[in-house]
Amino acid sequence: MSGNIEYKTTAQMRVMAQAGLVVEKALAAAKAAAVVGASTFDVDTAAAKAIAEGGATSNFLGYHGFPASCCVSINDEVVHGIPGTRVIEDGDVISIDCGAIIDGWHGDSAVTFIVGTPKSDRDIELVEETRRSLFAGIAALATASRLGEVSAAVEDVADAAGLYPLEGYVGHGIGTAMHQPPDVLNYRTRSRGVKVRPGMCLAIEPMLVIGTGDSNILADDWTVISADGSRAAHWEHSIAIHEAGIWVLTASDGGAGGLAEFGVVPTPIP
């Protein structure tokens, strides 16, 4: 997505942080509902309830006709899975992507976890290294002059773990719409990327696959599956870049827990 970047005031970022905290709660509720024997519809119901209780509305519901408040993607489903009758099984790798709006300002975040007993150590690595690649990207953002530095940091963690960024799917700016310029890639290109400036709010979202970065879309026109059937993970946060530093809008600790290993301390929005 190209075009003008929407730069936010600190007051606007504070509203985005409110939306972000509702997303955090919705993801926690959705994760708690994702137990063996539950349906993905049950997961969506929990997310929708938490969004409503937070005084927010869903930005997923109705987005280009999307029928639910979150995406639930299991195993070889990488992103955009539609909640429905599918029943969660022991060892499933579950990605939940959710968003919320408060006063017109959007939040967007995703988590991946294993339900019950992991099927393999590789599944555990997949989930953990995808999470680390997200925080490596966020940490890079704290000092980046160009957005390409974030993409490189994500790619380096993926590379070291032998995981492949899903091709053709990227992170994005976020603000008065869920998806805005600029694109936030999970891999290097020839471009150094746009300049990183205070006022930007970005959703960084590595989507990493065990097999290759190739994918197909199911007949439901939404669900993205890995082309070779291998498992995938997806982690996402919305982050504000303000005059004094960065702050993860979709985490009540501002990202401090995930950023610690990278030596970055988030700065609250003034």
- State the residues that interact with Mg ion by CB under 5 A: 97, 108, 110, 203, 205, 236
Instruction: State the minimum distance, in angstroms, from the CB of residue 263 to Mg ion.
Output: 26
Do the bridges between strand 245-248 and strand 171-173 make them parallel or antiparallel, or are there none, so unpaired? unpaired
Instruction: State the minimum distance, in angstroms, from the CB of residue 119 to Mg ion.
Output: 25
Measure the CA–CA gap between 180 and 200, rounded to whole angstroms.
11
Instruction: State the minimum distance, in angstroms, from the CB of residue 23 to Mg ion.
Output: 9
CB nearer Mg ion, residue 33 or residue 98: 98
SS3 202: strand
CB nearer Mg ion, residue 57 or residue 91: 57
CB nearer Mg ion, residue 64 or residue 190: 64
Dihedral sign, Cα of residue 208, residue 210, residue 216, residue 217: negative
Q: Are 156 and 165 in contact (CB under 8 A)?
A: no
- CB-based contacts of 59: which residues, under 8 Å, 6+ apart? 99, 100, 101, 106, 108, 178
Instruction: State the minimum distance, in angstroms, from the CB of residue 99 to Mg ion.
Output: 6
CB nearer Mg ion, residue 42 or residue 183: 183
Instruction: State the minimum distance, in angstroms, from the CB of residue 238 to Mg ion.
Output: 8
Task: Locate all alpha helices (DSSP H) within 34-160, ordered by sequence.
Answer: 40-53, 121-143, 148-160
CB nearer Mg ion, residue 108 or residue 183: 108
